Amino acid sequence: MELNILDIKGKETGKKVLLDDAIFGIEPNDHAIYLDVKQYLANQRQGTHKSKGRSELAGSTRKLGRQKGGGGARPGDIKSGVRVGGGRMFGPVPRDYNFKLNKKVKQLARKSALSYKAIENAITVVDNLNFEVPKTKEFVAMTNNLQLADKKALFILANGNKNVYLSARNLPGAKVITVSELNTYSILHVKNLVFTEESVAALEQIFKA
Strand duo 174-178 + 123-126: pairing: unpaired
Look up the CATH number of domain 2-46+98-208: 3.40.1370.10
Report the predicted TM-score, pTM, of the whole model to 2 decimal places.
0.84
Cα of 58 vs its chain's centroid, Å? 42
- Domain limits, the chain: 2-46+98-208, 51-91
Enter the DSSP assignment of 205: H
121-153: pLDDT as tens digits: 999 999 888 888 899 999 999 999 999 988 899
d(CA 172, CA 189): 13
Helix (H) or strand (E) holding 116: helix 103-119
56-114: pLDDT as tens digits: 999 999 999 999 998 988 889 999 999 999 999 999 999 999 999 999 999 999 999 99
d(CA 105, CA 191): 23
35-46: pLDDT as tens digits: 999 999 999 999
